[in-house]
Amino acid sequence: MLYFDHSATTKPSEEILDTYLRVSREYFANPSSAHQAGQICQQLLEQARTQVAQILSVKADEVYFTSSGTESNNWVLQVILDQAAKSHPDRHQVILSEVEHPSIFKQIPLLQSKGYQVKLAPVDESGCIDIDQLENLLSDDVLLLSTMAVNNEVGSVQDLKAISRLLEDYPQILWHVDGVQGVCLHLDRMKQERIDLLTLSGHKFHAPRGTGILMMKERVNRAPLLYGGGQERGLRSSTENLATIVSTAKALRFAEAKQTASYVFLKGEHDRIVEALESQNWTVFAKDSASPHIICAAYPGIPGEVLINAFSQEGAMVSTTSACSSRKHQAHHTLQAMGVDPSLAQSAIRLSMSQSTSAVEVEQLLAVIERISKCFSLDLQGR
């Protein structure tokens, strides 16, 4: 199998799986238990938290473990935002970029029902936030701004430094960054001091599913997401999933160590794939702004679902949009925001790599692209 759907989920590496199994077998006690076994598990938990904090260049008590990136994003917009509103009842505006993940975007009706005024920051034709238009949206009435680090559909890398500079004049605005797609190659970009809240998800960087991360700076007014036994310093009660938490911390350390080498390698492979696609008359989106590990392209005239099936029959796994919407045959939300013609957007697919992708796999993918493209070219000519 050729797996090029890493933006949907990654395969846990053998080293990480070994850690997961060892912790599951040997450290199964509840970290909240007062006995010795529980205390040892609590120590492991805090070691994992400290490791994540060091990698993100924040304090350990600014790191919280959740069950997923979606949960972390919901915590921000449903709890942290309300807490900020209580402290600033005269402010009621929220700014989201037009290309946010569904776990952000689908909360808009809820936010509006609570009385928040939601404004959307436009993106340009490359999928990047229009910095000038974002600046025009900023005001003293804004409570929170949420932006991605790397878009999950087309891979556009957002200019977090430029956004950070804009926010220098608005210290009251909470800035949340969805960094879920950024860990593969862009960890350093997400270490902006101005970022107040950062979402990550372990299964996007070769850890098992079931652990998300929400970094909250000390300056954020915090409030509980889940009530109960008082875990995560009383803010997210639920017995901790210790095995996946420890595995996620280790996977994040591995991802950081490989950043430079992976970027150089995947940039080269990205360019090879783009060249192959364009030589076969594909349209590649966000070609210059995309992270090297994500490629979004369309073969005009052929529906994305048909393309996915053709790749799958060749043993290559790719997707149409984000995994959250691909089976629902929803339109490319990001391409729509970029102004791409709907007839072209419906032919779009996403190929995504990770730090585990090999040159051999890419070479095999190139052959698949050539075969599929020639087949559909003949099909279109025969219509």
Residues acting as catalytic residues: 324
Q: How many whole angstroms from its chain centre is CA 130?
A: 20
Q: What is the C-alpha to C-alpha distance for residues 362 and 381, in angstroms, rounded to an integer?
A: 28
| Sequence-separated (6 or more) residues with CB below 8 Å from residue 218 | 59, 61, 62
Q: Which two tokens stand for residue 290?
A: 């995309």
Longest dimension (CA), the chain: 74
One-letter amino acid for residue 71 of the chain: E
**DSSP-based three-state secondary structure for 48:** helix
- Structural contact between residues 326 and 349, judged by C-beta atoms closer than 8 angstroms: no
Q: Which residues face 96 on adjacent strands?
A: 120, 146
| Sequence-separated (6 or more) residues with CB below 8 Å from residue 230 | 32, 237
> Could you tell me the end-to-end alpha-carbon distance of the chain, in angstroms, rounded to an integer?
32
**DSSP-based three-state secondary structure for 297:** strand
How far is the CA of 271 from the CAs of 162, 247, 294, 313, 362, in angstroms? 26, 32, 11, 25, 11
Sort 113 into a burial class: Cβ within 10 Å, 0-12 / 13-18 / 19+.
Answer: exposed
From the list 48, 45, 80, 71, the residue with the least C-alpha distance to 250 is: 48
One-letter amino acid for residue 169 of the chain: D
Q: What is the C-alpha to C-alpha distance for residues 319 and 326, in angstroms, rounded to an integer?
A: 7
